[in-house]
Structure 1
Amino acid sequence: MQPKQAPILTVDRADTLLPFLLSHQKGKSRNNIKALLTRGQVLVDGQAVTRHDHPLVPGQTVSLRPRLQGGDLPFPLLYEDADLLAIDKPAGLLSTANEREQERTAFRAVSDWLRDRGEGRAFLVHRLDRDTSGVLLFAKSEAVQQRFQNEWNTLIRRRGYRAVVEGAPPEPAGTIRTQLRENRIHKVYSVRSGGKTAVTHYQVERLGADYALLAVAIDTGRKNQIRVHFSELGCPVAGDKVYGAATDPLGRLCLHAHELSFAHPVTGAELLLRSETPRGFSRLVR
């Protein structure tokens, strides 16, 4: 028997997610609701949300997906074969553990899922920032992971993103090329020399009154590269207070790993993995 589908709720006034859910989920406590968020069961406009203070605006939809059974992944599986798997990572979830969070990570969830199926563990191929959503790739063996590490520039064809920025870039399309360095408090910035080269290409897809939706591609995968480049261009990624954003319209960093194109390290097949752009991004540039 299929689990009963929960109704889709439409937001009729500005609110934040936890009080909205408490007002519409009778009989559930704050701890019950927070558990739903932690398990990735709460969807806003079809995207999993884990933050209890996620802001809501009129017209958005909120729904609950049924509790996942016995080791199922708490986020969509985009691709899987004998050597690789890719997920659609939600914003707010770490790719892998850090000094403050060891358990609630994409790596742990995928590793547990594979172990439950008797397939060993996962090996992270690349990372996304906690607040960046989208395509995240894992290998199923250390040998395949090592192949990516050794032949990254040969295997990877394209890393494409969607970003909503405050204002707009000075030109409708362009390439940003700088050298990046990280300071003692782990903030990244551009320097004239002595840093690591970072190259970001962009094109304005849609221009709104306050924001612009950009198609972004990177030649290099430096830490916080996209965020730093658009901040220094005068149009920070919306929701990115670390790098100068003044607004947080969706309660998350408005950066999404939209596509990953690469040659399969074992079969040689050309693969293109895509994750749909969050609907909230388009709403900001209507």
Structure 2
Amino acid sequence: MSQSVPEGSPAPGVLSVVAGPDDAGERIDRFLAARLPDLSRARLQALMRQGAVSAGARTLEDPSARVNAGETYVVAAPPPAPAAPQAQAIALDVVLEDDHLIVIDKPAGLVVHPAAGHADGTLVNALLAHCGTSLSGVGGVARPGIVHRLDKDTSGLMVVAKHDLAHRALSAQFADHGRTGPLVRSYRAFVWGLPRHPRGVVDAPLGRSERNREKIAIRSDGRFAVTHWETLERFEASDASLVECRLETGRTHQIRVHMASLGHPLMGDAVYGASHRTKASKLDDGARAALESLDRQALHAAVLGFAHPATGETLLFESALPGDLAALAAALRARRDP
């Protein structure tokens, strides 16, 4: 019969179980789940994959491994995450704010809401400090007021709802994708290559990649996704271009995947532009230095327009390229053909 070690054993958050003779040969995940009722079997399997379960000097990563009688199994369970994000004093670039909404110019590097690996230091934490309790609850505890998202490393304009009615009205506009209303979402993207045509449309459904679940891929069974693009500037000597991308839908990594599918991945995109990495070595010193200091995909949410959820007034906001992208643009423009 197994025995759980009582309080006072190893350390706070560390659980220990001793296997008895009758436990020998049982799967470790099933054995631990039965003896530690506060941890589900799925949670224990995840902890094992993270190296948080051990027996003596051995780290146990295989949930199907078998129990040995008399052995002590130790589970280092992290403390539970707080039920709600905490307010944090993080500076915000506020473009417009009233009783119904707040428009933010988000810097690159700022995660929008708490998630795995980003428990705090997010835009939501900053909004809670700035707005107090006046944020919509429609998005749930972890995403108060969040109507739409930008990737962590994408800079630019976002609108956040301050109450539920505003949230629902704004969400309806985003769901309509501007088909019957004034919603506009336009991005500036620096891409590799020189598109043959001045403008075009990518109509390709997107879903999780079967090979890598952290990536998005074009899939026949994916969600409808359309990107309208237009070349704004060509940097012939650097084999790069500045394009405008207008979203007809707003899927995760949409612009990055759609432009890569055309053979024009975003500059600085280590996920979808890896095949073009050697092109950076062909840039002149100034452009190469600007790209290396960028350390992100060269994407900026430059234009955001929508109808005010309370007044119906059409609002349109524009954001200039942030410093890192402005420096890249200047470096690319400075180079001339030999």
User: Is TM > 0.5 for Structure 1 vs Structure 2?
Assistant: yes
Match of 2:150 among 120, 128, 153: 128
**Closer, same or farther in 2 for the Cα pair 1:137/1:128, shift >3 Å?**
same
- Give 2:128's aligned residue: 111
Q: Does the CA-based 8 Å contact 1:206-1:285 persist in structure 2?
A: no
Match of 1:182 among 208, 225, 235: 208
Q: Distance in 2 between matches of 1:164 and 1:176?
A: 17
Structure number with larger C-alpha Rg: 2
Quickly say closer, same or farther: Cα 1:75–1:281, change in 2 above 3 A.
farther
Cα distance in 2, alignment partners of residues 105 and 218 from structure 1: 25
Structure 1 match to 2:223? 196
Distance 2:315 2:150 in 1: 19
Q: How does 1:134-283 map onto structure 2 within 5 Å?
A: 134-152=156-174, 153=176, 154-155=180-181, 157-183=183-209, 185-191=213-219, 193-208=220-235, 209-210=237-238, 211-245=240-274, 246=277, 247=280, 248-249=291-292, 250-278=294-322, 279-283=326-330
Counterpart AA for 1:276: A
Closer, same or farther: CA 281–258 of 1 in aligned 2, 3 Å: farther
- Tell me which residue corresponds to 1:96: 113
Task: Give the root-mean-square deviation of aligned CA atoms.
Answer: 2.1
Query: 2:194 & 2:124 partners in 1: Cα distance?
Result: 35
In structure 2, C-alpha distance between the alignment counterparts of 1:85 and 1:281, rounded to whole Å: 30
Which gives a bigger RCO, structure 1 or 2 (Cα 8 Å, sep 6+)?
A: 1
1:240-266 CA distance string (max 9 Å, x none): 110024144422210000011111121
Identity %: 36
* Pairwise CA distance, 1:141: 1.0
TM-score normalised per structure 2: 0.59
Give 3-state SS (helix, strand or coil) of 1:125's partner. coil
d(CA) in 1 for partners of 2:327 and 2:225? 28
Kindly state the Cα deviation for residue 268 of structure 1 after the two structures are TM-superposed. Answer: 0.3
Supply the distance in 1 between the matched residues of 2:332 and 2:193 (Cα, whole angstroms).
10
Q: Deviations over 1:178-237 (max 9, x none)?
A: 11121252211112x221111111111111122211111110001100000111111110
Whether the 8 Å contact between 1:85 and 1:138 is mirrored in structure 2 is: yes
Provide structure 2 residue ranges, at least 5 long, that are not aligned to the other structure: 1-87, 137-143, 281-290, 334-338
Q: Distance in 2 between matches of 1:98 and 1:155?
A: 32
Distance 2:328 2:167 in 1: 32
Distance 1:138 1:231 in 2: 30
Q: Which has the higher helix share?
A: 2
- Within 2, Cα distance between the matches of 1:156 and 1:97? 30
3-state SS in 2 of match to 1:150 = helix
Distance 1:73-1:87 versus aligned 2 partners, 3 A rule: farther
Q: Secondary structure at the match of 2:95?
A: strand
Structure 1 residues 86, 281: closer, same or farther in 2, change over 3 A?
farther
Output one character per residue of 1:69-109: Cα deviation in whole Å (capped at 9) or x when no partner: xx875131111111010111111110111111121111110
